[in-house]
Amino acid sequence: MVKAYDKPLRRSLALPELTNSGCSPRPDSRSAVVVRPKSCPYHIVMACFLGGQVLMRILRFRVNRQRTLEQMVAAGPLTLTPVLLTNVFAGMIFTIQTARELERFGAMHALGGAFAMAFCRELAPILTAAIMAGQVGTAYAAEIGCMKVTDQIDALKVLRTDPIDYLVVPRVVACCVMLPVLTVLGLVLGIAGGAGVAFLFYEMPVGQFLDSVRSLMVLNDLIAVLIKSVLFGAIVALAGCTWGLTTTCSRSVGRAATSAVVTTWVGLFMVDFFLSLVLFGGIGAALH
């Protein structure tokens, strides 16, 4: 038999129920404030502010070399195999699709040039950055998010360690260094895959294919690809770190990892559009 004076005590000890979509207790007449997840534009703005802080620290040479080397080792080898495989098969597919159209017009001699214009300038950097976003950017968001919800970042502040110096700057520098390297390796294997398909299926000599590539891809194009890769690496790292630092609870760690990829893809295509206008003469052609 339950006594009347026990009921208020039991009600006071009852834990609030959690909702399926949020991280806070379900609101009622006595409820606390519900913490709602931030939107994608909010994280884009926060990533821009975080990028400015990282840039200021790099210009002041406030870079932890040991942490940066550790992140370079983690970022490079982890993505090497998927980057190489993706670029090889992408080069083969692009060669098959392009050769079929050029063969109709009797312009097979320009196959390598068309390959260089599209694959080398655009497709290889984007594919490599996408692989790094899925492999490394999500890991950054999940790792830093777990540190945020377990108060490890607050512990760094107590130990007088700047979280941006310790966590963000090494990851940004590592991605900016390793992504151009991976892009060049993927570019080489992509060209090799395209040349192999052109030789096996269309009986086009490898030398002729490579000569056609060199005729349209000059040194300035390679420099432009490296510049794009550096910026893409910064976008991948900043998006992952921003979503990790803005994580509010354990349930949002997985959401942060997946949302970091979406934010990275949006940023990649936005930056790629403006870089293509500037680096490849799109603005001048549009004005004339």
Look at residue 38 in the predicted model and tell me its pLDDT. 62
Secondary structure percentages of the chain, helix, strand, coil, to 5? 80, 0, 20
Q: Do residues 177 and 74 touch, judged by C-beta distance below 8 A?
A: no
Instruction: Please say if the pLDDT value at position 92 is more than 70.
Output: yes
Instruction: Please say if the pLDDT value at position 275 is more than 80.
Output: yes
125 — pLDDT class (breaks 50, 70, 90): very high
Task: Give the total number of structural domains in the chain.
Answer: 1
Report CA-CA distances (Å) from 266 to 42, 67, 135, 173, 262: 13, 28, 17, 21, 6
CA angle (102 as vertex; 96, 112 as ends), nearest 5: 65
**Global pTM value:** 0.81
Residue 61 maps to a domain: no
Q: Which domain holds residue 246?
A: 84-277
Residue 67 maps to a domain: no
Residue 91 maps to a domain: yes
Look at residue 216 in the predicted model and tell me its pLDDT. 80
- Each residue's pLDDT tens digit, 239-253: 999 998 888 877 788
Look at residue 37 in the predicted model and tell me its pLDDT. 55
Which of 41-45, 253-257, 263-267, 279-283 has the weakest average pLDDT?
A: 279-283
Look at residue 88 in the predicted model and tell me its pLDDT. 94
Which of 62-71, 85-94, 116-125 has the weakest average pLDDT?
A: 116-125
> For the chain, how many residues are written?
288
9 — pLDDT class (breaks 50, 70, 90): very low
Residue 152 maps to a domain: yes
Residue 35 maps to a domain: no
Look at residue 5 in the predicted model and tell me its pLDDT. 43
Residue 228 maps to a domain: yes
Residue 48 maps to a domain: no
Instruction: Please say if the pLDDT value at position 103 is more than 60.
Output: yes
Instruction: Please say if the pLDDT value at position 166 is more than 90.
Output: yes
Residue 30 maps to a domain: no
